[in-house]
């Protein structure tokens, strides 16, 4: 009867478990929440592929009115951070649902709860009052 080396077997199990832990951390979990709130008058939504201009600074050069506040909240675990580009598609979706032509007054906030990285963006959706 041949004996198996116990140490090598334990190492193989340990390495396998460590690999799964690393893959789990790398994949992590992600949560996205978003909404818009009308400031006054409500407008019908724009088409899903309608263009939405984004002004990270400055304002549109055409007359406009502020119609909605936009919120996008992203959470990722495993110390993975979010960027503005991660929130942008959802900001545009919310702007279209509010009937907006553009997004202005963008405010970004970051925080952390243990290994969860939180990224929150607020913005103002505007509707042009004349054609650009």
Q: What is the block-wise mean pLDDT of the chain (132 residues), using blocks of 10 residues? A: 52 45 52 78 95 96 96 78 84 96 93 82 94 62
Q: What is the fold of 29-128?
A: Translation Initiation Factor IF3 (3.30.110)
Our separate counts of H helices and E strands in the chain read: 2, 5
**Domains in the chain: boundaries:** 29-128
pLDDT score, position 11: 44
What is the structure's pLDDT at 12? 47
Give 26-31's long-range contacts (Cβ < 8 A, gap of 24+): 26/78, 27/78, 28/76, 28/77, 28/78, 28/80, 29/76, 29/77, 29/78, 30/74, 30/75, 30/76, 30/77, 30/80, 31/73, 31/74, 31/75, 31/76
Q: What is the pLDDT of residue 19?
A: 38
């Amino acid at each position: 009867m041949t004996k198996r080396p116990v140490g090598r077997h334990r190492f193989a199990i340990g390495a396998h478990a460590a690999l799964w832990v690393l893959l789990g951390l790398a994949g992590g979990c992600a949560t996205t929440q978003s909404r818009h709130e009308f400031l006054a008058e409500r407008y019908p939504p724009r088409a899903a592929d309608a263009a939405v201009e984004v002004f990270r600074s400055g304002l549109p050069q055409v007359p406009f009115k502020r119609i909605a506040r936009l919120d996008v909240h992203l959470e990722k675990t495993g110390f993975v951070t979010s960027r503005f580009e991660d929130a942008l598609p959802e900001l545009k979706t919310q702007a279209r649902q509010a009937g907006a032509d553009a997004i202005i007054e963008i405010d970004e906030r970051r925080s952390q709860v243990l290994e969860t990285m939180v990224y929150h963006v607020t913005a103002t959706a505007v509707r042009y009052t004349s054609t650009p």
